[in-house]
Amino acid sequence: MAGKEPYFLTFNKDYIFSGLIAIEEHFRNVKPEFDAGDLSCILKHAGSIWSHADEAQSHALIAEGEKSSRKFAELRDKIKEFSDKVQRGKITPEEGIKEIREIRAFFESFNKEYDISRCKTCGPIPEELEKIVKKLKQPSFSDLEEDMARKVINSLSEKYNVPPPKLEIVEECHKPEAGLYTPDTIKMCRAGINQRVLIHEMMHHIQYKTGKPLDEEEAERFALNELDRKTLYSQTAKYDGNGEKQMQSVKETAVILGADHIGYGIVQGIQYLDATYPGAVGGQNPSLLIDPIVTILGILGGLKLRDPWDILSLLLGSYISTDLWRVSAEATLAKPLRFVTVPTPSISASAVPTAVQATVTPLGTAPASKYMITA
């Protein structure tokens, strides 16, 4: 009588089957650039399969017979050989998937209840579901970003004849846009991978491998030259030790000059509206409404926008605010008085008749010292 042997054999089979599936899934998630440590989980599952296959020999001998027992012994040898390849690093993820599928097919050949190819409920996938599955299999943006980073590292390592450093992607960072180099390792934040920082850290690796000190200035100059950013701000920009400062200075100068010209053009347009539509806004000129709105928007832009638009916005708001002096003066001050000077005619004594007695009377509405001759 078999007793509990069938129960223990089923237990062994379940663990062997689940381990074979798990190994294939692990191989699917191994990154192109991997080291021996990344395959440790595969070795763990392989060891579990090996142990259960070895144990299943005795259980199968009693529950199913000698033929089944020999099959489990063969399965044990296959998984052991496979495990040795993984340990020696003599297998790629693609080769690993192919070999583990062959081992699983062998296991299923004498354990038909685990043969998923015989599943009658696994019919054709509906077209819409197939599209969803295909989309899910496509690499995410994070995967593409990480792949780009590894390609940059490998390319520069080959170009400068140094072994590539290990790339460590950190999921949570205090400062996402920063990178960190420690001997043979570049650390980047998942949310902040960018080529300039990556190349900067790569230069530290080159410095380390060639016995040079880790020079920040040289690393930044190296990153800018590799990216060939000369067209970003100026066609003639030079990248010496203060290259980044020079570019920043050119950039800021362009923003300030541009803001002055744009601001002047806006003020001219506002004054044109005042001349064309005087009193159009509640009896006041349009500038009384436009100037404060543009000034406020400029200040808000300076607080909310990114460089260089924050500076440009703030400069424009500041420039337009100066037009408020003109607007306020026209809206609140009385119009200046205009005085008309009445010329005093030159009359000779002989031209005045003796019979007419002329009098000189001050003109009450004229300024002092100005007189009119009346008869």
Q: Which of 26-30, 161-165, 174-178, 299-303 has the lowest mean pLDDT?
A: 174-178
Looking at residue 246, its pLDDT comes to 55
DSSP states of 315-356: HHHHHHHTHHHHHHHHHHSPPPP---PPPPP---GGGS-TTS
| Alpha helices (H) in the chain, listed in sequence order | 5-28, 40-63, 66-88, 93-109, 127-137, 141-159, 195-209, 216-227, 230-233, 243-276, 287-304, 309-321, 323-332
Q: How would residue 35 be classed by pLDDT, with cut points 50, 70 and 90?
A: low
Mean pLDDT of the chain: 76
Q: Which amino acid does the sequence have at 236? A: T
Taking each helix axis from N to C end, the angle separating 243-276 and 309-321, rounded to the nearest 10 degrees, works out to 40
Looking at residue 334, its pLDDT comes to 45
Q: Is the pLDDT of residue 188 over 70?
A: yes
Looking at residue 106, its pLDDT comes to 92
Cα–Cα distance, 234 to 226 (Å, whole number): 16
- Mean pLDDT (whole number) for 95-100: 90
